[in-house]
Amino acid sequence: MNTVPSLEDLGDLNAKSVLLRADFNVPISNGEITDDLRIRAALPTIKWLLDAGASVTVCTHLGRPKGVPDPAFSVDPVRAKLAELVPEVALLDNLRFDPGETANDPAFVAKLIEGHDVYVNDAFGASHRSHASVVGPPQYLPSAAGRLLHREVEVLNAMREKPRRPFVAVMGGSKVSDKLAVIEALLDSVDSLIVGGGMCFTFLKAKGHSVGSSLCEDDMVETCRRLLAGPKTIHLPYDITALGPGGKLFDPSAGGDVRQIGANVPDGWMGVDIGPGSAAAFGDVIMEAGTVLWNGPMGVFEDPRFGGGTGAVAAAMAETRAFTIVGGGDSAAAAKQFKVDKDMDHVSTGGGASLELIEKGDLPGLEALRGAPNGQ
């Protein structure tokens, strides 16, 4: 279903003009790019197109300007980095400087594709959005997925359809409600699910545990109870790292004890990480897996006091023989912080896009490519 045209399907590109939609939404501080991974990730596609004799114009969004030019979201640093890496390539202004981008305005699409013969989408991280630059050009131009987009689709589809078993999903993050649809989709295919992060407290409450001042969505407790009663094993932490009354995240000087406790969090205490016993148990499950998807940290890992659980999961992901997939976003940041990103088989470049593809089996950007004049 998700087969999309590849670069090879575009035919002879000699002297053709290619519009390449990339995701160069990179972190910039004081006018300097602090992590150019997304730019480098697009280089295989860019170089393939140049080697095929095409001229390449790249377009990208950067940040969230409100549909008007804003110097704070200038792509000039990206343009400078591109000029250093592939000087033959042109880069358009930030797509979101024009309100037509997010509104999917046909007039903006027409302006984008003017003078171009072919369209290539290599922006997996934006392909879950029905924006003009994502879904517009394939209506008019022969189109294909770039190498990065193709790899994302290939890996995530294989994980959904034919994972090496046991297939384990590790889910963290703050809220069950944010990931409920993904969790339900995964429970159809995984052998077991590991739940950590803030969302674990709603599950723990559903099992009758006290959660103190921990993050908990009371309106999701019944849903968690239903999921726990299902046929698939859901692993929950049985010990917690908790912050006592008066304590503040990211501020050790504020006081408040940090303790390892069981699965019941006392009143006034806040659970902020899985405990060491649970971290070891989760690691054992990961080590025995055939495929592991990790999406979401096990605790507030940005505060060094509460990074133990996430660090332990990261270490297990690096050591296991399983095929390992990191679902972008905070998990990718955690993998990088704990220096295991290079040990993963696949780190997704799009957190929201990867979750939507897992949940729904398709994305607007992929559907658009399949509907192109040369589509499948």
Catalytic residue among 38, 81, 147, 205: 38
Number of H-type helices and E-type strands within the chain: 14, 16
Burial of 352 (0-12, 13-18, 19+ CB in 10 A): middle
- CA separation for the pair 354, 370 (Å, rounded): 18
Structure tokens that stand for 54 in this block: 């095409």
Catalytic residue among 296, 329, 350, 365, which?
329
Annotation says 329 is catalytic: yes
What angle (nearest 5°) sits at the alpha carbon of residue 32, between those of residues 27 and 38? 40
Omega before 304 cis (within 30°)?
no
Nearby residues of 186 by Cβ (< 8 Å), 6 or more positions away: 169, 171, 193, 293, 358
Write down the catalytic residue from 277, 290, 352, 361.
352
Residue 175 designated active-site: yes
352 catalytic residue (yes or no): yes
Q: Is 129 a catalytic residue?
A: no
Nearest to 170 by CA among 274, 302, 262: 274
Q: Which of 47, 79, 164, 175 is catalytic?
A: 175
Between CA 376 and CA 176 the distance in angstroms is: 36
Cβ contact 125:355 at 8 Å:
no
Select from 35, 28, 2 the least CA-distant residue to 336: 35
240-243 vs 291-295, strand pairing mode: unpaired
Active-site positions?
38, 175, 329, 352
